Amino acid sequence: MRLDIVTIFPEFFDILDISLLGKARRSGLIDLAVHDLRDYTHDRHRTVDDTPYGGGAGMVMKPEPWGEALDEVLPQDPAGQQPLVIFPSPAGDVFTQAMARELSTEAHLVFGCGRYEGIDQRVFEHTATRARVRLVSLGDYVLNGGEVAVMAMIEAIGRLVPGVVGNPESLVQESHENGLLEYPSYTKPASWRGLDVPPILLSGNHGAIAQWRHEQQVERTRRVRPDLLES
């Protein structure tokens, strides 16, 4: 999978060198490049924003640097499917595990991190003439910019790319994969500070364990996220 990130804070993404995703990059499963939006400006101050037409608070990101950055990142003449360009935005579709799974099958994702009050609307329109475009929100709250949202999305998507997580079984049993939250986990010792592991888990009865875990998932989901059971 090819990933490109356009941002005014490229150093923010240095941590993608470590952990599972770092390993996936070194092994070639994930090919990731980070582009500094300011490299596509032409003034002494490397200006990426300006005041909004029509007035109002805050600054808007200028279209020209975005256009040039995307000129470089997007293939001129995509032979196969067009890349998908994701702009993180609180006004977008809410990111879910189902969306992460869908996006993990894409060959080329481009993330455009906005800052300030947003990006000039024409950038979305123009990008849609040469790629698929999607606005995606991390949730119903406002971040200072798209970088944290992109980091979360890349972690959720990257770990679903085949080969990135060593044991694919571990992906099947986690929260949200079957519409339920995950069951509680325990490891040794069997008794710790007066707290015992539920005896069923020591029984060796795999059928009974599977059933207990499922019940725990349903009970936890009902208590914490009843909305998941309705949908």
Smallest separation, CB 187 to ligand ADE (Å) = 35
According to the binding rule CB under 6 A, does residue 154 interact with ligand ADE? no
Which range binds ligand ADE by CB under 6 A, 68-76, 88-96, 205-213, 214-222? 88-96
Which range binds ligand ADE by CB under 6 A, 18-26, 137-145, 162-170, 187-195? 137-145
According to the binding rule CB under 6 A, does residue 47 interact with ligand ADE? no
Q: What are 193's two structure tokens?
A: 């500070």
Using alpha carbons, select from 165, 182, 164 the residue that is nearest to residue 173: 182
* Of the residues 65, 88, 112, 158, which one makes contact with ligand ADE according to CB under 6 A: 88
* Of the residues 18, 142, 172, 195, which one makes contact with ligand ADE according to CB under 6 A: 142
Q: Measured at CB, which residue is nearest to ligand ADE?
A: 88
Whole-angstrom CA distances from 144 to 4, 88, 197 are 21, 11, 43
Residues linked to residue 6 through DSSP beta bridges, in sequence order: 35, 112
According to the binding rule CB under 6 A, does residue 89 interact with ligand ADE? yes
The answer to whether 41 and 47 have CB atoms below 8 angstroms apart is yes
Rounded CA gap, 168 and 133, in Å? 30
Which residue's entry shows tokens 């804070």?
A: 9
Smallest separation, CB 217 to ligand ADE (Å) = 27
Rounded CA gap, 74 and 132, in Å? 11
3-state secondary structure of 17: helix
Nearer to ligand ADE, 24 or 37 (CB): 37
Residues linked to residue 109 through DSSP beta bridges, in sequence order: 3, 84
Which range binds ligand ADE by CB under 6 A, 61-69, 87-95, 197-205, 223-231? 87-95
3-state secondary structure of 60: strand
Nearer to ligand ADE, 152 or 228 (CB): 152
Helices 147-158 and 19-26, interaxial angle, to 10°? 70
Q: What is the DSSP letter of 178?
A: T
* Of the residues 137, 176, 179, 228, which one makes contact with ligand ADE according to CB under 6 A: 137
* Of the residues 41, 90, 176, 197, which one makes contact with ligand ADE according to CB under 6 A: 90
Residues that bind ligand ADE (CB under 6 A): 88-90, 137-139, 141-143, 146, 149
